[in-house]
Amino acid sequence: MLTTIISTIIVLGILVFVHELGHFLLAKKLGIGVLTFSLGFGPKILGKKIGETQYQIAAVPLGGFVKLIGENPEEKVQDELLARSFSNQPVWKRALVIGAGPFFNFFLAVVLFSTINLFGIPHFPPKVGEVNPGLPAEAAGLKQGDLVLSIDGEEVKKWEDLSKIIRNSQGKELMLRVKRDGEIFDTRVTPKPSSVKNMFGEETSAYVIGITHSGEVVIEKVNPLIALGTGFVQTYQGIKLTIVAIVKLIQRVIPAKTIGGPILIAQMAGEQAKRGLLSLVLFMAILSINLGVINLFPIPILDGGHFLFLGLEAILRKPISIRKMEIAQQVGLVLIILLMIFAFFNDLVRVFSPEGGFGF
């Protein structure tokens, strides 16, 4: 329980801090005044004012905020501060400040992935686990423990490479070079189309030969440049996968009951912390990507909602009226609250259900 609480505070604290740090640093860089940098909402627990900025930790840890001078267009700003007022800045400057929060979350994911990669990048070797009866692999004489060295003369080092070649074969006969008990031999296999389920549970058609990987994991040591490059690729793939998953949720391909809230995050943080620091860092990277993507949703009160207002302002060549923005933000707030209630309800169902067990 203590591990869960501490790991949750650390994970959420870092993610919120980095997100708000993005807004804060770019605002400062562009000459916009910052009045408050807060981790958490509600009453202040700790705080110190340095220059014009109040730095504080508040009572409710689920979030944070940066308050800028003139953030509210109706706010009265002293004449000497007008040049540093957020509302007086051109659209592109305001857009950069708003976008800096999600960008920093994506950048954090790159840093975390790259750091993990320095310890080695894990992958499955092209080693055969199970051979499914009645499928092409069995007919070709493949057996458990066989190591595939190449396909049609193309060297295969990872299971991912082997799988990709087979899926893209279009049913063409393939020549496999295989190593078994120290001996190397060639065999021919013709993939056949089959109905398989993807990670979202959808039925798709793919070419297969009827083998699974052995479950063995190889840790590949790489230099820092490759670790960094792979970190960028992993972050991009994470962003893409998150967007696809959200679309699948809207399409009801993924059940709405899978949506989780603070309790699920806490449980997962606790589980990853028990597995080790690298697992917790990996979880934080994935959560950081999710936070960045969700904040870009065009929902008022989120960063994406502010982008929406700025886009309309740029098109209409005039600011959106305060009244309309307030109504939109109230609607957005209601939507977010309803989503949080639904996620919290799902969390409680998972906790109290016979399968979910009770407690952390």
Residues 166 and 130 in one domain: yes
- Say if residues 207 and 174 touch (Cβ distance below 8 Å): no
Give the pLDDT of residue 239.
Answer: 94
d(CA 36, CA 54): 5
Task: Return the axis-axis angle of helices 262-275 and 322-352, rounded to nearest 10°.
Answer: 60
Residues 260 and 357 in one domain: yes
Which amino acid does the sequence have at 25? L
Residues composing the chain? 360
Strands 147-151 and 174-180: antiparallel
Residues 144 and 277 in one domain: no
Annotated catalytic residue, options 20, 80, 154, 160: 20
Domain count, the chain: 2
Residue 294 is assigned to a structural domain of this protein: yes
Residue 60 is assigned to a structural domain of this protein: no
Strand partners, 36: 54, 67
- Long-range CB contacts (< 8 A, 24+ apart) of 100-103? 100/22, 100/23, 100/25, 100/26, 100/27, 101/19, 101/20, 101/22, 101/23, 101/292, 101/295, 101/303, 102/19, 102/22, 102/291, 102/292, 102/293, 102/295, 102/296, 102/303, 103/22, 103/292
Residues 176 and 99 in one domain: no
Give the pLDDT of residue 230.
Answer: 93
Residue 53 is assigned to a structural domain of this protein: no
Residues 213 and 253 in one domain: no
Residue 81 is assigned to a structural domain of this protein: no
Residues 215 and 276 in one domain: no
Residues 98 and 239 in one domain: yes
Give the pLDDT of residue 358.
Answer: 35
Residues 213 and 350 in one domain: no
d(CA 39, CA 55): 8
- Residue among 85, 76, 73 at smallest CA distance from 309: 73
Give me the sheet containing 147-151, strands edge to edge: 154-155, 147-151, 174-180, 183-189
**Radius of gyration, alpha carbons of the chain:** 26
Q: What is the CATH number of the domain that holds 207?
A: 2.30.42.10
- Say if residues 98 and 104 touch (Cβ distance below 8 Å): no
Residue 315 is assigned to a structural domain of this protein: yes
Strands 121-123 and 218-220: antiparallel
Give the pLDDT of residue 350.
Answer: 60
Residue 181 is assigned to a structural domain of this protein: yes
Residue 151 is assigned to a structural domain of this protein: yes
Strands 211-213 and 174-180: unpaired
d(CA 273, CA 265): 12
Give, for all 360 residues of the chain, the pLDDT tens digit.
677 778 888 888 899 999 999 999 999 999 999 999 999 888 899 999 999 999 999 988 778 899 999 888 777 888 888 889 998 999 999 999 999 999 999 999 999 999 999 998 888 999 999 999 999 999 999 999 999 999 999 999 999 999 999 999 999 999 999 999 999 999 999 999 988 777 667 778 889 999 999 988 888 888 999 999 999 999 999 999 899 888 888 887 777 777 776 666 777 777 877 778 888 898 899 999 999 999 999 888 889 998 999 998 889 888 888 888 888 888 887 887 787 787 767 766 765 654 444 333
d(CA 254, CA 258): 7
Which among 219, 246, 268 is the end of a domain?
A: 219
Which among 219, 251, 281 is the end of a domain?
A: 219
Give the pLDDT of residue 223.
Answer: 92
d(CA 3, CA 280): 12
d(CA 154, CA 165): 10
Residue 186 belongs to domain spanning: 122-219
Residues 236 and 188 in one domain: no
Interval 318-329: pLDDT, tens: 888 888 888 888
Give the pLDDT of residue 344.
Answer: 67
Residues 145 and 244 in one domain: no
Which among 219, 237, 266 is the end of a domain?
A: 219
Residue 203 is assigned to a structural domain of this protein: yes
Residues 136 and 156 in one domain: yes
Give the pLDDT of residue 210.
Answer: 92
Give the pLDDT of residue 360.
Answer: 37
Q: Is 355 one of the catalytic residues? A: no
Q: Which two tokens stand for residue 50?
A: 């340095």
Residues 170 and 316 in one domain: no
Give the pLDDT of residue 353.
Answer: 57
d(CA 57, CA 64): 9
